[in-house]
Amino acid sequence: MPTPGAAAAGAAPVWESVCPPVSGPMPAAAGRGRAPEDSDGGPRIESQHPCSQGGGTMIAEARTCSEQLAFGLRTIQGAIRDLTPEQLAFVPPGLANSIATLVLHVAATEVVVAEQISGRQAAEDLRRAVLLDRYTPAPGAPIPAAGPGETAASLIGKLQRARAEVLAALEALTPADLERTFPFRPGGRPQPLTFFLHLLPFHIASHYGQIALIKRFLRQDA
């Protein structure tokens, strides 16, 4: 797994291995409609971080990203909070990943984006918790499967730790950072920071759609 800044030095970028092309139904963009009630007992990101409600010192582009990400986190928390470990680990016929695997992939992607933005590597225990130590740095490589025993509470905790990394990176951005670029895929044209600020909310919304699809299989099997 490349360390922050390795892509700029010519190593294979992390985006393709952490964010392979998304398959399956695409949900509406994050931020539309009403989010599920957040009654899982965990802290709500918006109330924890003043910038996500439009206050604080975030630049406008970062604030918009954080608000959309807060909506996405609520939807995923609401979708998984009542699922058992067996349901979280279930892989429907014809699909490649379980809900637990998708949730950890969302968290891993947020950690990597935070590392790229800030130039600092996250704590090793967090990187292991979201399976970054098991990613294959190759385009289209399968995402690592979640281990047995993941619970809704453990997954939500990892999502929230990853989100804290993103929020810290967003809060540190300045208008000058909007001119920075990062590679998206090997040999591809570097993309501006704003591309990744738009990518994160879309990424979480896309995988929420896959989680919702898997839950339909769970209802059919009930």
Q: What CATH number is given to the structural domain containing 175?
A: 1.20.120.450
Task: Evaluate whether residue 200 is within a structural domain.
Answer: yes
Taking only the tens place, the pLDDT of each residue in 56-112 is 589 999 999 999 999 999 999 999 999 999 999 999 999 999 999 999 999 999 999
Q: How many other C-beta atoms are found inside a 10 Å radius of the C-beta of residue 49?
A: 21
Task: Evaluate whether residue 28 is within a structural domain.
Answer: no
Answer yes or no: is pLDDT of 55 > 90.
Answer: no
65 has which bridge partners? none
Give the predicted TM-score (pTM) of the model: 0.75
Task: Evaluate whether residue 26 is within a structural domain.
Answer: no
Total domain count for the chain?
A: 1
Cα dist. 14→41, 61, 62, 69 in Å?
Answer: 33, 23, 21, 21
Task: Evaluate whether residue 114 is within a structural domain.
Answer: yes
Contact of 160 with 47, CB cutoff 8 Å: no
What does pLDDT average to over the chain?
A: 78
Answer yes or no: is pLDDT of 45 > 60.
Answer: no
Q: Which domain holds residue 99?
A: 11-20+40-221
Greater model confidence, 187 or 155: 155
Q: How confident is the model at residue 136 (pLDDT cuts 50, 70, 90)?
A: confident
Bridge-based pairing state of the strands 191-192 and 181-182: antiparallel
Task: Evaluate whether residue 63 is within a structural domain.
Answer: yes
pLDDT on residue 23 = 35
Task: Evaluate whether residue 111 is within a structural domain.
Answer: yes
Answer yes or no: is pLDDT of 135 > 80.
Answer: yes
Task: Evaluate whether residue 180 is within a structural domain.
Answer: yes
Q: What are 107's two structure tokens?
A: 């968290």
182 has which bridge partners? 191
Taking only the tens place, the pLDDT of each residue in 181-217 is 877 665 667 889 999 999 999 999 999 999 999 999 9
Task: Evaluate whether residue 6 is within a structural domain.
Answer: no
